[in-house]
Amino acid sequence: MTSGGDPLLEQLASGERLPLARLLTRIENGDPSVRPLLPSLFAAGRGGHVVGITGPPGSGKSTLVNGLIGEWRRRGRRVGILAVDPSSPYTRGAILGDRIRMMEHAADRDVFMRSMASRGELGGIAATTWITAAALDAAGYDPILVETVGAGQSEVEVARLAETTVVVEAPEMGDEVQAIKAGLLEVADIIAVNKGDRPGADRAARQLRAMLSTAGGRVERKPPPVLVTTATDGDGVAALADAIDAHRSAARTPAAARERAISQVRRALADLVAERAAGSTGWNEVARAVAARELDPLTAAERLMGE
Amino acid sequence: MSDERATDRSEPIRVIIAKPGLDGHDRGAKVLARGLRDEGFEVIYTGLRQTPEMIADAAEQEDVDIVGLSILSGAHMALLPRTVALLRERGMDDVLVAAGGIIPDADIVKLKEAGIAEIFGPGTSIGQIARYFRENARRRS
């Protein structure tokens, strides 16, 4: 919990909210002033549990997150939430509506909830989400819930960021074959069939369990637990919080943690390297050469990387 | 990062649209939220029946540039100055606060004295509001 004497990190550590909120804005905006802070920000990380919450639009992610906040607050945890909604590809505007379901916790000093627009990223989270999650970690929030945009079948980026990924489904979302398609369900560490008061919820959970037990995408894995929740009345929410906490303990073997950290960082590094490349002096020249068909894209990439 | 990229970067303005108090009509707030989205704003919508404390707490965590308060209930003299005071108390001195709804002319002067920058009555177009917000939102350094 060393803040290294940096005044901003000290403010974060002491639970001040406006400095954290303003730091998140600078991170989102790619403000160059963030760059020199990054080493101490990551060093100040306290190992908060990053939990991804994903699933189709309308499956009840935000309502379930609201229930989880209440559950973890009862257990004395400080909860951070990053809730991502899509940006318009035409105007870059966005409606960020996840807060509607969580306003009851707005005044709780031990809950920090931030809405983020995806700003053109297609993976279900924003490009800067991994840094904003690090900021919440440095500020001592644990768990840190990352709620994705309403996800289709392949917005699986959150699984790289999160230690534990919860996929929220609703009943009657499709037949058994949906459960064995590659993609979203494959990255689930836990599946919550929400809207458990609807007809078909238990049947959907049974089908998911049956199908997922036949084949795991990542072969070494046990099939993920499938829980039925009713976020609107809190049914099953405590069990879901237990399952998330249990997954953390199981996932935090040193080897697993190292492997996960590497795969998380790989994507972040690729983004940063791409950004650097796009700003390098040879970039325009190489792009022009490729456009004029004097160079193929692979050779161009090798040249930019100095290979 | 090249200079060209730095200068053409205009970050979206963040606005919170909130409904303080007990009135249950949020069609106008939703139309405005949608319209501002189409104008390129990032709009955080809180839903109905918010207290000034909830709005100030949300505005703080969201680090918004603008707080837009929609109110039709007649309780504006109680709720709007209180919201401004809480925002200022929390250090959000440069956040623009605007209101919309059914507000009598006689109250408008007092609300402006209390720190509400502008009040948009019935018939205001979304374009007008968007233009006002763009011209008056704080500039981030």
Residues A189 and A297 in one domain: no
Residues A242 and A267 in one domain: no
* A239, burial (CB in 10 Å: exposed 0-12, middle 13-18, buried 19+): middle
Does the distance separating the beta carbons of B90 and A96 come in below 8 Å? Answer: no
Closest residue on chain B to A87 (Cα): B42
**pLDDT tens, position by position, A252-268:** 777 777 777 777 677 67
Residues A167 and A23 in one domain: yes
**pLDDT tens, position by position, A129-175:** 888 999 999 999 999 999 998 877 667 788 888 889 999 998 876 66
B50 touches chain A (CB under 8 A): yes
Q: What value, to the nearest 5°, has the Cα angle with vertex A274 and ends A269 and A276?
A: 95
- H/E stretch holding A63 reads helix A61-74
Residues A269 and A195 in one domain: no
Residues A201 and A291 in one domain: no
In a domain, A244, yes or no: yes
Residues A133 and A229 in one domain: yes
In a domain, A110, yes or no: yes
In a domain, A123, yes or no: yes
ipTM for this prediction:
0.88
pLDDT of residue B15: 97
Residues A172 and A74 in one domain: yes
In a domain, A190, yes or no: yes
Q: Which of B45, B47, B60 is the closest to A95 by Cβ?
A: B45
Residues A189 and A290 in one domain: no
Residues A53 and A113 in one domain: yes
In a domain, A258, yes or no: no
Please state the CATH superfamily assignment of the domain spanning residues B12-135 in this structure. Cobalamin-binding domain (3.40.50.280)
Q: Where does residue B96 fall: left (phi above 0), alpha (psi -120 to 50 degrees), or beta otherwise?
A: beta
- H/E stretch holding B70 reads strand B66-71
In a domain, A281, yes or no: yes
Residues A42 and A172 in one domain: yes
Amino acid at residue number A77: R
Q: Which of B9, B39, B50 is the closest to A91 by Cβ?
A: B39
**pLDDT tens, position by position, A59-108:** 999 999 999 999 999 999 999 999 999 888 888 999 998 888 888 898 89
Does the distance separating the beta carbons of B62 and A114 come in below 8 Å? Answer: yes
In a domain, A21, yes or no: yes
| Contacting residues for B69 by C-beta, under 8 A, at least 6 apart | B18, B19, B20, B55, B79, B80, B83, B97, B98, B99, B100, B101, B116
Mean of all residue pLDDT scores within chain A: 86
Residues A235 and A297 in one domain: no
Residues A63 and A212 in one domain: yes
- Are the C-beta atoms of residues A72 and A169 closer than 8 Å to each other? no
B47 touches chain A (CB under 8 A): yes
Domain count, chain A: 2
pLDDT surpassing 70 at residue A217: no
Residue A210's φ and ψ, nearest 5 degrees, are: -65, -45
Task: Calculate mean pLDDT across residues A272-280.
Answer: 78
**pLDDT tens, position by position, B14-41:** 999 999 988 888 888 999 999 999 999 9
- Tell me which residues of chain B have a pLDDT lower than 50: 1-9
Domain range spanning residue A274?
263-304
pLDDT of residue A307: 66
B39 touches chain A (CB under 8 A): yes
Q: Packing angle between helix B52-62 and helix B76-89, nearest 10 degrees? A: 40
- Are the C-beta atoms of residues A112 and A141 closer than 8 Å to each other? yes
B36 touches chain A (CB under 8 A): yes
Terminal Cα distance for chain A, rounded: 41
* Global pTM value: 0.85
pLDDT of residue A276: 77
